[in-house]
Amino acid sequence: MSEGVDTVGLDTPPKLAVDGLLDDPQTRIIVCCGAGGVGKTTTAAALGVRAAERGRKAVVLTIDPARRLAQSMGIDSLDNTPRKVATVGTGAAAGGGELHAMMLDMKRTFDEIVEAHADAERARAILANPFYQSLSAGFAGTQEYMAMEKLGQLRARDDWDLIIVDTPPSRSALDFLDAPKRLGSFLDGKFIRVLMAPAKVGGRAGMKFLNVGMSMMTGTLSKLMGASLLKDVQTFVAAMDTMFGGFRTRADATFRLLQAPGTAFLVVAAPEPDALREAAYFVERLAAERMPLAGLVLNRVHTSGAGQLSAERALAAAENLEEGGIVDQEAGKAGLRDAAGDSPDRASGPASDPSSAPSSDQYPDHDPGDSPDVDEITAGLLRLHAERMQVIAREQRTRDRFTSLHPEVAVAEVAALPGDVHDLAGLRAIGERLAAGVPAGA
């Protein structure tokens, strides 16, 4: 995807122009994906705020159940229904933009599918079935599938011109792409035939056959034993038999939507080996699936306003101070202390004359015992700076390994904030860093 990319030079990756991506009316879906704990939810929310304040009618679909995100948007709570963020996108300056936010309720979304595609009597039977309740609440891949279902529902409504999706916190970021196909295959005609076979065989042999057919199921279903399991499954299948094909059809349709022009994937990562390794896998998978990649968002990048002072020089200076090897002289020059702690120049001369020292009358509130050891504090600060520079160097090497493998991927580096994001100001700050693309002080 060439839009929204600025080429910086041969030695650096192209810069991801986030504002260009948000402002492009052809961009209708942005999918934030990546490993868990890298800031996908915050990135998605910050993009939503920035898009709305630049004139887009945006909705953010988040998977994060934490209340802090809702509170940061000024909403008491998020649920399966989009809620307008009243303080974002209002006024003429916003160009008519709006922001809505919602949190995926996996089970409720599954219930909505049943209610929409079955008559009232059959829907009640399905919703009350114990097998369905286990499937809808905890089956492996259900959350990812329902996120895709909800995305399809939002796109079909056409109430928003930009949908921003925060993908589920899966074991692997690839689960978001794999789960819909897995669950769609699980709920197709072959599955029905496998489950209906035990009723024809009957007895102990039938249960043995059932166990073979159910080997793909999670531990949740394995807790249901014996005849009650068989009865629940058969009742479930009898009620759902006309709906299974629809799951596969909708999964395939949403998958094609993700491949279509107007969709942009943002791979979110932290500057850490595991997160960027996962990001590299996802970049390769998106290319294999012909899905449009906008670029990489590298979150929580450490920076320093004193980058010209290397870690080695800072450590050397700290060691000198701690060993008493450097003091400031009256003329502003550096010298060496003697074993007694005084410089040779101070051992004789006017400075050694007690009458020339400041008297307590000049500083009546000064207690020499309360004076901080300036050298000790300075040495500590130098060591902290050295540690920060080492972290920056390590992050840079990690990023360089990624960009050497994928030099075509545009990158936006987001400087780490001093604290957690807990309000709209914090989300706006993240949005500004996303738009800048390179951390201040880098």
**What residue has token string 């201040």?**
440
How far apart are alpha carbons 208 and 227 in whole angstroms?
12
The answer to whether the CB of 419 falls within 8 A of the CB of 307 is: no
How far apart are alpha carbons 143 and 148 in whole angstroms?
9
Average pLDDT over residues 127-143: 79
**More confident of the two residues 93 and 229:** 229
How far apart are alpha carbons 255 and 265 in whole angstroms?
13
Average pLDDT over residues 409-413: 95
Token output for 167: 């993908």
How far apart are alpha carbons 10 and 30 in whole angstroms?
28
Q: Helix count (H) and strand count (E) of the chain? A: 18, 12
Band of pLDDT at residue 143, cut at 50, 70 and 90: confident
Residues of the chain with pLDDT > 90, as a percent, come to 33
Band of pLDDT at residue 137, cut at 50, 70 and 90: confident
Lowest mean pLDDT segment, chosen from 29-38, 39-48, 317-326:
317-326
Q: 153 Cβ partners below 8 Å, 6+ apart?
A: none
Per-residue pLDDT tens over the stretch 59-79: 999 876 666 677 788 777 788
Q: Can you give the pLDDT at residue 365?
A: 52
Quick check: helix, strand or coil at residue 421? coil
Per-residue pLDDT tens over the stretch 368-385: 444 458 888 999 999 999
C-alpha distance across the termini of the chain, in Å: 27
pLDDT above 70: residue 328: no
Average pLDDT over residues 106-118: 88
**More confident of the two residues 351 and 433:** 433
* Residue from 160, 159, 136 nearest 149 by CA: 136
**More confident of the two residues 413 and 338:** 413
Residue 97 falls in which region: left (phi positive, over 0), alpha (psi -120 to 50) or beta: beta
Per-residue pLDDT tens over the stretch 185-210: 666 555 555 555 554 444 444 445 44
311 to each of 259, 290, 390, how far by Cα in Å? 46, 43, 6
How far apart are alpha carbons 170 and 144 in whole angstroms?
8
How far apart are alpha carbons 68 and 77 in whole angstroms?
9
Lowest mean pLDDT segment, chosen from 12-21, 231-240, 316-325, 337-346:
337-346
The answer to whether the CB of 295 falls within 8 A of the CB of 5 is: yes
Q: What is the pTM of this model?
A: 0.76
**More confident of the two residues 36 and 337:** 36
